[in-house]
Structure 1
Amino acid sequence: MSAPVPPSYKDLGKSSSDLLSKDYPIHGTSLEVKTTSFPASFKVAGLRDAKSAAITGDIEGKWVDPKNGVAITQAWTTSNILRTQVELENQIARGLKLDLLTALNPAKNQKSALVTAIYKQPSVHTRATVDLFKGPTFTADAVLGRAGALVGAEATYDVLAGAITRYAGAVGYSAADYSVAVHALGNLSAYSASYYHRINSDIEAGAKAVYDTKSTAGGVNLEVGAKSYLDNSAFVKASNNAGIVGLAYTQALRPGVKASFGIAIDTQRLNDQSGSSNHRAGASFVFTN
C-alpha cells in the first residue's frame, strides 16, 4: 500500500481552521444558488453586508472535460471584475496540474495573472506560482509526509529585487481522528499552533494559539471552538476568540437546501451603547440542485 499524498502547504491545519471559522455567517445575509448540468455548472452568490448595507455578488460558470483533464471557470462580480481560470490536470505528467488564473477590472485598468504548477505524489505535495504582473514574483512551497508526520516550507522570490521577500515553515501530524500543526509565519516573526480532535461521531473540538513577536499588545491570542451534530441534518458550533463568542446553527431543510444562522457577541462590551462593539449577526442560504 503506497503512502498517501499529503495536504498542500496552505491546507496544513485546515481542519482546525474550518472548525473555528467556517459556517459562521456573521457578516450579513448571503444567498448562494448552485446548479449543475454536466459538463457545465453555474453559481450565483450575493451578500448584503450587515454594517454598510452594501450588496456584493458574482456569477460563475464552469465547464469540465474529465477525459482530457480540462476545466474552465469564468466569473463576473458586481465590482466589475472578470475572472478566468483554466486548469489542466494529469495530461503532461501523472500528478501534475497546471493552473492559469487571470483577473481584469476594465474600469480601473487593473489586471493580474497567476500561473501555478502543482505536483502530487505519495509522500510529497509541491506547488510553484508565478505572479506575472506583480514583481514578477515566484512563490514555491512543498510538504513532505510520512506515517502521518508532515513537514512543509514556503518562500517568495521577487525577480526584480533579486531577493527572497517572504518565507515560512510548518510541521504537523495527522491521524484518523485528530491533527496538530505548528506554523512559523511572517519571516519567522509570528508563530501559531493549532489542534483538531474528532472526539466521537457527534462532537469535534479545536483550538488555535497565535504569538506575534511584532505585536505591541504582546501575549498569546487563543481561540477555541467546538461543533456538535444534532442529527444527520443539523449541527451547532461555538467559539471564543479574544472575548468574541461565536454561535452558529446549520440545518439542511431538504435535499439541496441548507440554512445557517450565526451571531458574534463581544463579551467585553456587552453594555456598549456607542456602536463600537463587535456584535454581529447574519444568515446564509444555499440552494443546490
Structure 2
Amino acid sequence: MAVPPCYSDLGKDASDLFSKGYNFGDVKLDVSTTSAGKTGFKAAATSHGDGPDGASRRVSGSLELKREVYKNESKDITVTSKWATDNTVNTTLTANNFGLENNKVTLEGFFVPHSGKHSGKVKGAYKRPHFHMTDEVQVKSEGVAVSATAVVKKCGFYAGYQGTYSQYHGGFKDSNFAVGFAAKDFSLHTTCINHGSHVHGSLFHSVSSKLDLGVALRWAAGADGAHFSIGSKYSCCPGTIIRSKFNSDGELGLSYKQELNSNVNVTLSAQVDTKALALPSHRLGLGLDFCA
C-alpha cells in the first residue's frame, strides 16, 4: 500500500514544471562532491540581479557539509551544517525510524553570529499506508509557532490540511486545505489558502516518457480574474531537457539543460516579456552544476 506524500509535496509534479530549471537574471554555480569517508560537501554561488551594471547585482554563496553519523538496516542519523555569506549558520540533525517505525525526527538550529539572533525547530513526520502526518515547533525570541499537517489518500483521491498557530502573530496564521487526485501519469490538485482567500489549482499530465505538460491557476479574493500558466518539459534525447512556460502576464520562459558528461551540467534560461518586446525587461540566466 502506498504512502501519500507530505502536504508540502501535494501537486509537486505540476509545480516543478514552473519552478525547476529556470534562473532568470541569475548566474549560478553549484559544486558537490563526497569524500571517501562519506561526507558530502556542497558549495553554491549566485550572482543575482537584472541590470547590466555591476552595482545592481549582488553575489551570495553557501557551503554545506552533510555526514551520515549512524546507519544500520532500518535506522540512520544524518547531520547537516550550512554556512551562508550573509553570515548565517544552520545545523540540522535528522533521525529516521527511532522509537517508531516509519517516523522521522529533525532538530534544526539557526544562528546569526554578528547579531546573536538564533532560533530552533523540532520537526516530526509519521507515515503509514494511506496516511502522512508532519508537525513542527519553532522557537524564536518573539515566541513559539506550532504547525501541523495531515494527508489521507485512498484509490488515488487525497485530502490534506495544514494549520499554523503563532504566538508572535497572535493566533492562527495559516489554515489551508487541499484536495486532488493522482494517478501514475496524471494529477489534479486544488488548494484553498487561508479559509479560501486564495485558491490555487494545477493539472499535470505525463504524455509520454519524454513529454510532460501542466497547467496552473491562481485566484485571489477581490481580483478581477485568475492568473494562469502553462508549462512543458521535453526530454528530446539522453542528457538534454527543454522546458517552456507561458503565463497570463505575457511572460514566456524558456530553458535548455545539457549534460556535458556524467559530472557537468549546464542550464541556459531566458524570460521574454511578450507585451513589451522593445523594452529591456527580458532576463537571461546561466547555471553550471559540477558533481564529483
TM-score by length of 2: 0.92
- Residue 5 of structure 2 is matched in structure 1 by 7
- Residue 205 of structure 1 is matched in structure 2 by 213
1:58 aligns with 2:66: no
Point out the more displaced range, 142-151 or 102-111. 102-111
Correspondence 1:3-82 to 2 at 5 A: 3-37=1-35, 38-51=37-50, 52-64=56-68, 65-67=70-72, 68-82=75-89
Amino acid paired to 1:175: A
- Aligned match for 2:115, one of 108, 112, 119: 108
Distance change (3 Å), C-alpha of 1:107 and 1:161 = closer
Amino acid paired to 1:153: Y
Q: Considering only aligned residues, what root-mean-square deviation do their CA atoms show, in Å? A: 1.5
Amino acid paired to 1:210: R
Point out the more displaced range, 97-106 or 64-73. 64-73
Point out the more displaced range, 198-207 or 160-169. 160-169
The answer (yes or no) to whether the contact 1:50–1:282 under 8 Å persists in 2 is no
Correspondence 1:1-289 to 2 at 5 A: 3-37=1-35, 38-51=37-50, 52-64=56-68, 65-67=70-72, 68-133=75-140, 134-159=142-167, 163-215=171-223, 218-241=224-247, 242-272=249-279, 277=281, 279-289=282-292
Amino acid paired to 1:235: I
Tell me how far apart the structure 2 counterparts of residues 163 and 26 of structure 1 sit (CA, whole Å): 37
Identity of aligned residues (%): 29
CA offset digits 1:216-256 (Å, max 9, x no partner): xx200001011111101101011012211000000000001
The DSSP-based 3-state class of the residue aligned with 1:268 is: coil
Please report how far the alpha carbon of residue 183 of structure 1 lies from its aligned counterpart in structure 2 after TM superposition: 0.3
CA offset digits 1:128-172 (Å, max 9, x no partner): 101111531110000001111110001111347773232000001
TM-score by length of 1: 0.93
Tell me how far apart the structure 2 counterparts of residues 17 and 161 of structure 1 sit (CA, whole Å): 29
Tell me how far apart the structure 2 counterparts of residues 263 and 179 of structure 1 sit (CA, whole Å): 28
Unaligned runs of 5+ in 1: none
Tell me how far apart the structure 1 counterparts of residues 49 and 171 of structure 2 sit (CA, whole Å): 42
Please report how far the alpha carbon of residue 106 of structure 1 lies from its aligned counterpart in structure 2 after TM superposition: 1.4
Unaligned runs of 5+ in 2: 51-55
The answer (yes or no) to whether the contact 1:20–1:207 under 8 Å persists in 2 is no
The DSSP-based 3-state class of the residue aligned with 1:136 is: strand
Please report how far the alpha carbon of residue 50 of structure 1 lies from its aligned counterpart in structure 2 after TM superposition: 3.3
Tell me how far apart the structure 2 counterparts of residues 286 and 257 of structure 1 sit (CA, whole Å): 6
Distance change (3 Å), C-alpha of 1:39 and 1:245 = same
Tell me how far apart the structure 2 counterparts of residues 219 and 69 of structure 1 sit (CA, whole Å): 49
The DSSP-based 3-state class of the residue aligned with 2:24 is: coil
Tell me how far apart the structure 1 counterparts of residues 168 and 260 of structure 2 sit (CA, whole Å): 54
Distance change (3 Å), C-alpha of 1:252 and 1:165 = same
The DSSP-based 3-state class of the residue aligned with 1:132 is: strand
Tell me how far apart the structure 2 counterparts of residues 39 and 131 of structure 1 sit (CA, whole Å): 30
Distance change (3 Å), C-alpha of 1:174 and 1:50 = same
Distance change (3 Å), C-alpha of 1:160 and 1:269 = closer
Distance change (3 Å), C-alpha of 1:25 and 1:154 = same
Tell me how far apart the structure 2 counterparts of residues 27 and 160 of structure 1 sit (CA, whole Å): 35
Please report how far the alpha carbon of residue 72 of structure 1 lies from its aligned counterpart in structure 2 after TM superposition: 0.3
